[in-house]
Amino acid sequence: MGCLSMYALLNLMSLNGVSAGCTVSVLGYCLLPMVVLSGISILFSLKGVVGIALAAVTILWCSLSASKLFVTALTMDHQQLLVAYPCALVYGVFALLTVF
């Protein structure tokens, strides 16, 4: 659902359009820091303040990485923050699954 909504949003925002494979690939590639967070959650509980802070940093890292790749690939100058917000929502769902 998140990949489809990002695909639709990026096609509406860019002049050239983007393929579904590119969208899924970028979102999946930038999910790697979340995998590290889930590995940390195996060893330590993330339900405290430190866990929430780690999750917030991971969401920020993932969303900024994905938005930078999308903006570069689609030549969307000065629109990184507009793309980063929906990316942060997508990665926030994964962080909630990891923390709780």
Tokens of 59: 């969401």
What is the C-alpha to C-alpha distance for residues 67 and 42, in angstroms, rounded to an integer?
A: 28
Instruction: Band the pLDDT of 1: cuts 50, 70, 90.
Output: confident
The number of beta carbons lying within 10 Å of the beta carbon of residue 97 is: 10
What is the C-alpha to C-alpha distance for residues 12 and 94, in angstroms, rounded to an integer?
A: 25
pLDDT tens for residues 10-63?
999 988 889 999 999 999 999 999 999 999 999 998 899 999 999 999 999 999
